[in-house]
Chain A
Amino acid sequence: MACWIDRKVTARIQWRVGPPWYQNFVDILKLTYKEIILPQGGATATFLLAPVLGFLASVLTAAILGNALIDTSQAFLGDIIVVLYLLVIPAIALIIGASSSGNPLASVGASREMKMVMAYELPFIFCIIAMLVKSGGNIRLGQIIEHQLYFGSNIASPSGAVAFIVSLMCIQAKLGFPPFDASEADQELMGGVLIEYSGWPLAIFKLTRAILLYALPVFLIELFWAGNTGLLVIAGKYVVLLVAIVLVKNTNPRLRIDQALRFFWGPLTLLSVAAVILALFGK
């Protein structure tokens, strides 16, 4: 459903009508009926297992995030760290899948994906540390949400606002959207990491991407914007965030991988460190 909002908003920006709401379900269903082609000279087992790995990790993330939102006392100790780890796994699955396909374009895509992971994880983790400091060193998502319920959303404070903007950029890269889509690069790498995938493995990668498109904005809402956790309010905030992401996606050209690295390790890391320092001073 979220993917449909993405495609529809994109179409409207380009002055088109856009696909019907059920389009993505149809796409996934169709892919499951298609023939699966295994590349000769590739590692078959890892080629087929990689999408499943990424899918499981993203489902688990979505479950943990949803659980924390529904009942804040249910979350287990350190779940935010688990979520952080799980969010890296889809990217790693993509890298494993691409490198086991044996396609040169896919391996270029994989190496770019690897660089992107290293680039965006650093500022993202700093942002999360800032928020942990802000909510008194709690490493449970539930307590972070409760803290915001009592003292107002994190985003209202200077450190929260800075960290929010930085992590919005980071999830843009995590989702593989422009301007940070160098690893997929439809025009130059012809799908890059996904080039050899057909049939249900491709469908699973698409599903993983769809689940991340739900889970990542929800994660941001829980971290920064959880002043009110009514179901409708959360849904509204989610749509606002999603449209913001899609707007950034459609109005920016692709960055080269070195430009993206410089952007994440330079300005964004400095900003996120500033957010940590602000949070330490209680701002």
Chain B
Amino acid sequence: MDLKTKVLTKSLWVFHAACSPCNNCDIEILDVLTPRHDAERFGIILVGSVRAADVLLVTGVPNRKTAVRIKKLYEQAPKPCFVIAVGGCACGRVMFRDSYNSPCALDELLPVDAYIPGCPPKPEALLAGVVKVIQKLRGE
């Protein structure tokens, strides 16, 4: 493992990309940052600007409006940038599969690195997902 991956995995800055979710996943994401779970222990902080992001946490089903924007958002992020699909909607569109307003799934738009299923996923599941991304980066 070279220095580049090492420092990257030690300081993952996440950007919260809400892609028309119902907000339950977003609340769980915020739970991970609260004192009980304290993701800053591992260098994970929430950043306000996508220009500083290493990871996009995408929640919700892309619809006709947000699909364009989430793609643009990914293009605006400095590479290397990883995408984590949070919740059932972002993973596989669940009940919105046949909706008139759901053109495609998230992984047809962006290269998704990890899927965290759940409706909403527990904070522990979110942390486990981030650990999986880190393991993938380190080639374990």
Contacts and interface: CB of A to CB of B under 8 A. Distances in A.
Task: Answer whether A and B are interacting partners.
Answer: yes
Interface in A191-207: 191, 194-199, 202
Interface string A28-67: 0110011111000000000000000000000000000000
Contact of B48 (A37, A190, A202): A190
How many B residues are at the interface, by size bracket? 20 to 34
B43 A26 contact: yes
Contacts of B47: 191
Contacts, number: 75
Interface residues of A, number: 31
Interface stretch (A8-16, A76-84, A218-226, A266-274): A8-16
Interface string B26-67: 000000000100101101000111011010000000000000
A194 B3 CA distance: 26
Given A19-B40, A19-B43, A30 B52 contact: no
B7 A26 contact: yes
A199 B49 contact: no
In order of increasing CB-CB distance, the 7 nearest A-B pairs are A190-B48, A35-B78, A198-B51, A191-B49, A198-B78, A16-B38, A30-B7
Given A17-B38, A194-B52, 15 more contacts: A11-B40, A15-B35, A17-B41, A19-B41, A19-B43, A23-B10, A23-B11, A23-B43, A27-B43, A30-B7, A30-B54, A33-B7, A37-B51, A197-B49, A197-B51
Given A19-B41, A29-B3, A37-B78, A190 B11 contact: no
Contacts of A27: 11, 43
A34 B78 contact: yes
B43 A194 contact: no
B23 interface: no
Contacts of B40: 7, 11, 16, 18-19
Contacts of A36: 78
A36 B7 CA distance: 17
Contact of B49 (A17, A23, A195): A195
Contacts of B71: none
A14 B38 CA distance: 10
Nearest to A19: B40
9 contacts: A11-B38, A26-B10, A27-B43, A29-B3, A30-B11, A34-B79, A35-B79, A186-B48, A196-B51
A18 to B, nearest CB: 6
B35 A14 contact: yes
